[in-house]
Amino acid sequence: MRSRAALLLLASLLCACCWVGVVEAQIVALGASNIAGRGVSSSEAFPAQLERMLAAKGYNVHVANAGVNGDTNAGMLGRLDQVVPDGTKIVLLGTRGGSFNARRLGQGEQKAEFAAIIARLRSRGVTVIPVTGNGIGRKYLQADGIHLSAEGHAVLAAQVLPAVVRALRR
């Protein structure tokens, strides 16, 4: 009887250990190249830097990077349900995604796609935090003048951090 109880306890502990390594995305960063981290390593991109900043504040969350280089608002809308799993609490939505699409689409159509992304997320109970990058100076851009440097990604993560902390406290 004792050995059977010990065996059950051991099996339970092993199962628990297997689940510890599984982290469901609680926060998803969605957008185009500056969200994806074009030109920097994945550990330097703003989602990874934000995750480290949150950990330093005691938050045990995962920030999944669902940025895609060259993405458009229509592309983000099309893959939204795939990259934002059930249980996601917050989506950090890059507001500049699809801006190059303005040559092919009118501003009204672009805004409609962006509004559809926000509406779909909110209907699922997801808090949407816009990621604008406003105020990040040219010194934080790569040589192309468009994409953030590693330091620029750190500045962006620090900009977004207070809003994410407020959303996590709700």
How far from the centroid of its chain's Cα atoms is residue 35's Cα? 8
pLDDT score of 1: 53
**Which residues are CB-contacts of 30 (< 8 A; sequence separation ≥ 6)?**
66, 67, 76, 80, 83, 84, 91, 92, 93, 94, 97, 117
Sign, CA torsion 9/10/13/19: negative
pTM of the model: 0.81
pLDDT score of 8: 41
Q: Which of 95, 90, 160 is nearest to 125 (CA)?
A: 90
Q: What is the pLDDT of residues 80-114, one digit of tens each?
A: 999 999 999 999 999 875 554 444 445 666 788 88
More confidently predicted of 62 and 12: 62
Q: Which of 43, 93, 42, 31 is nearest to 68 (CA)?
A: 31
Helix (H) or strand (E) holding 35: helix 33-36
For the CA atoms of 67, 79, 162, 33, what is the dihedral angle to 10 degrees? Answer: 20
Half-sphere exposure of 67 (CA within 13 A, CB side): 25
Find tokens 């989602």 and name the residue: 47
Amino acid found at 81: D
Could you count the other beta carbons within 10 Å of the beta carbon of residue 7? 10
Distance between CA atoms of 104 and 92, rounded to whole angstroms? 25
pLDDT score of 31: 93
pLDDT at residue 144 greater than cutoff 80: yes
pLDDT at residue 5 greater than cutoff 70: no
